[in-house]
Structure 1
Amino acid sequence: MTQKSDRKLKNVWESRLTGTRTSAFLTEILSNSGHFLILKSLSSLILVDWFKFITDPAIYVLIVGMLVQAWYLSKSNCNRFWGNLISVSIYTLIDVPIDGLDFFQDPSHGVFWLFSLMIAILQGLRFHWVRGIDYWLIPLESLVRALMVVAFYVVVGIKSQSLIFNPELIVRFSGTATHKFLTWSMVFIGLLLGLQSLQLAKQRKQLQATAQILGNMAEWGMGSHVVATALNNPEGLAFQKCDRTILFMDIRGFTAWCEKNSPETVAVVLNEYYRCIEPAAAQFQPLKITFTGDEIMAIYARPQQGIAAAKSMSKAALEMLELYGIGAGCGVHCGSVIEGLFGSEDVRTYSVIGDVVNTAKRLESATPGGLITISDAVYQAMSQHLTVEPCEPIVAKGKTAALIAWRLI
């Protein structure tokens, strides 16, 4: 699989596991950046009428600041500390020239800055500065959000009664039974919601880690083409007739060579062979690569990919196998096959079947080590781009007529 297709498949996985940028943007608004806007809007609506509310330019500045902050924080590589200060900074920079020094007399602005800084510090600790303390920071962050409701409750009380904000006012507020009930209720609700968020975050991480492992295993067993198809278009995995290019490569004299070497040596050499050949095959976007003993089968969408892969794989095999006095022959054929998931209810694998597969294998079997044999169908599809020499017609098992084949030069 090429880097381009690898990134594409990875993006598909990530969008399914963590959501798209749009979903991340909406989540950020609902779970973080939109909280102050909601509380500020509610407090303003309680204190003034609708007309004054919708004609106040400050609310639109706040909306713009919230949207910019949410857009930035929805990026995967954002800085959570500075990002959480975007909205309050935009609001302050635009509103101060309008309101002048009166801006700093409004207690809601002090609440805005105080809680923005608290959330920024907590998220900076959690995402950037100190790792592994989510057990403490997530509930604490939820508690801070709950206390923001209490803070705005105080702000509404101050403004509705035209009171002056001072420490004595806070003491009187905290001494009232109803205010105590509200404050402690929000503390416990914030902690409970924080513990729930922590549990959900832990489960999400476990599910994402499990899904990543299963995705890797599925790709190893099924191939990237099947995994991408399953994610994007599951119906595409049904049996279908399509044109495919089939490539087989097999080591010549491998059985005899194995008899002369220890099983440990054979395993090491075979694994080294796989590591050399797989990148050569993968760079031309195979739909699937299968290793069976010393045989390699690769499925491609077009003959051009199959031929390029055959050349690259043969070169890699020659450089690696000549050290052991052996070589690999390669055969390529193209045509209509039946493609889909084959197997039982419990075990299935993506593959292709048909005469094209059998013919490709016959071509490979008739090819000496270090050479590439292609079918006449492949030659006709790419005759202007290939340098070949004719082969003796290949008499293949199960074929009534000899196969017309060509040898790449």
Structure 2
Amino acid sequence: MYNSIHFPIANIMLELLLEGFTDYLREIDFYAMLLACIIQAWWLGGCHYRGCPAPLPGNLIAPAIYSVIEWVVEGQEFWSAPHHQAFWFFALLIGTLQHIQLMRVGKARLYLLLAEHSVRTSILLVMYAIFEWHMSSDSFSLETFLSESGHQFVVMTVLLLGLVVGYGFWLAQGYLLQLRSMADQLKCYSEWFLGRELLEKAVNDADALSLSRRQRAVLFMDIRGFTAWSEHQTPEQVVEMLNACFAMSEPVLEHYRSIRTKHTGDEIMAVFAGPEQAVCAAQLLRSELKKILLPYDLNAGCGIHYGELVEGLIGSHSVRSYDVVGDTVNTAKRLCDAASGGEILISQPVLDSLRMEKVFSVRQILMKGKQQAFTVFSL
């Protein structure tokens, strides 16, 4: 994360070459460096995912921990090593560049990214120069080092690679932001069509959308007198009223964990795992809808039935939607049609599941497609 591993790798390789593999692993330097970069990565990563990045102080954690441990062991001699000084230099420089990028710098962010990645790649160049200094400290000079054509090649290549990597990182971030924006939009659209709970199930299990037979409670609720009322209103007024009703119903249905919610005209359909959730949702919907519809001199009726149905993706190869089909759905719709304003009609299976001792009334209704009268209960 940030500069938690770039310099430590170069520093470990440098000391490994200078001291030898066996001797280096016997000393505390290697383990102190690992501990320092792990703690820094953990702290910086936590800040990033909490949405409060702090790159400047965060990039100083590793050099601070490493310096304290090594200073206790080596004393003041620790600070005379050029690679130890370079650790602080790169940490401060990279941390500062990243901190400035958090500000609203606009198009300047590209140049800051290029500078940051050029600094990162120059770690290799600086550590190589330090290695050369250790190998020939008496005759080493920066001027001599840069005058050799091989070193000039390394310098130019390293700096150019930094610019290329920085520009690639900038492009990648742009694409990532576009993908995140698109993913958020698709998530929003998917929740509109599937509902939040069903979408979560589908993400975790692709088979959740497959056609299957289930026991479900189906609720229908629509506005009585809506057609006659809407004839005397503008389309904008009709939509405004319907949106108010649907906006009110959303948190209610979400609270009672509606598996599937669908709005058609002035009608709300919701599918629940059990009758108790459906009845509780219907009672709260009736209470809240009454407040919205009263100024319009309107009210709503509701019907609930419980039984087997088929649910899943239904449609052609190119156009599909998640829906529920079966006699349970049709019966719930017929109950809703038979309910008067402010009334909730439930079927015998719903009543049996709830084990309710009191209902307001019992009556028989005739339903389209059914030969016998159907017993319903009014809540």
Range into which the TM-score falls when normalised by the shorter chain? over 0.9
Answer yes or no: is 1:228 the counterpart of 2:200.
yes
Q: Structure 2 length as normaliser, TM-score? A: 0.93
Cα distance 1:240–1:260, how it changes in 2: closer, same or farther (>3 A)?
same
Question: Does structure 1 residue 293 correspond to structure 2 residue 265?
Answer: yes
Q: Counterpart amino acid of 2:69?
A: I
Superposed displacement of residue 336, structure 1: 1.9
CA offsets per residue over residues 127-146 of structure 1, 9 Å max, x none?
Answer: 35646533222222111111
Which residue in the other structure is 1:41 paired with?
Answer: 12
Q: Counterparts of 1:66 and 1:40 in 2: how far apart (Å)?
A: 12
Structure-to-structure mapping, 1:2-401, within 5 angstroms: 28=1, 32-75=3-46, 76=49, 77=51, 78-128=53-103, 130=105, 133-163=108-138, 169-384=141-356, 387-401=358-372
8 Å Cα contact 1:125-1:131 kept in structure 2: no
Cα separation, 1, equivalents of 2:24 and 2:219:
70
Contact 1:258–1:266 (CA<8 Å) still a contact in 2? Answer: yes
- Aligned 8 A contact 1:306 1:332 in 2: yes
Change (3 A) 1:302 1:92: farther
Render the CA deviation track for 1:282-302: whole Å, top value 9, x for unaligned. 222222221110001112222
CA contact (8 A) 1:281 1:312 kept: no
Could you list the runs of 4 or more consecutive aligned residues of structure 1 that deviate by over 6 angstroms after TM superposition? none
**TM-superposed deviation, 1:107:** 0.9
Q: Structure 1 length as normaliser, TM-score?
A: 0.87
CA contact (8 A) 2:3 2:91 kept: no
Q: Kindly provide the CA deviation profile for residues 108-153 of structure 1, in whole angstroms up to 9, marking residues without a partner as x.
A: 1111111111111111122356465332222221111111111110
Tell me if structure 1 keeps the 8 A contact 2:286–2:300: yes
Counterparts in 2 of 1:55 and 1:394: CA distance versus 1, 3 Å: farther
Contact 2:224 2:341 in 1 (8 A): yes
* CA–CA separation in structure 1 for the residues paired with 2:16 and 2:42: 26
Instruction: Extract unaligned runs of 5+ from structure 2.
Output: none
* Consecutive unaligned residues in structure 1, runs of 5 or more: 1-27
Question: Retained in 1: the 8 A contact 2:310–2:325?
Answer: yes
Preserved CA contact (<8 Å) 1:68 1:87:
yes
Q: Distance in 2 between matches of 1:176 and 1:319?
A: 85
Relative to structure 1, the CA distance from residue 252 to residue 37 in structure 2 (aligned partners, 3 Å threshold; closer, same or farther) is same
Instruction: Summarize the Cα distance change of 1:104–1:387 in structure 2 as closer, same or farther, 3 Å threshold.
Output: farther
What percentage of aligned pairs have identical amino acids? 33
Q: 1:213 to 1:133 in 2, by over 3 A?
A: farther
Closer, same or farther in 2 for the Cα pair 1:293/1:124, shift >3 Å?
same
Which residue in 2 is equivalent to 1:4? none
Q: Which amino acid aligns with 1:396?
A: M
- Whole-angstrom CA distance in 2 between matches of 1:262 and 1:204: 44
Superposed displacement of residue 337, structure 1: 1.6
Match of 1:337, SS state, is strand
> What is the deviation of 1:208?
1.2
The 1:34/1:380 distance shift into structure 2, 3 A limit, reads: same
Report the aligned-residue RMSD.
1.9
* Distance change >3 Å, CA 140–CA 246, structure 1 → 2: same
Do the aligned residues in 2 keep the contact of 1:338 with 1:353 (CA within 8 Å)?
A: yes
Query: In the TM superposition, what is the alpha-carbon distance from 1:163 to its structure 2 partner?
Result: 4.8
Q: Give how far 1:335 is off.
A: 2.0
> Matched residue of 2:367: which SS?
coil
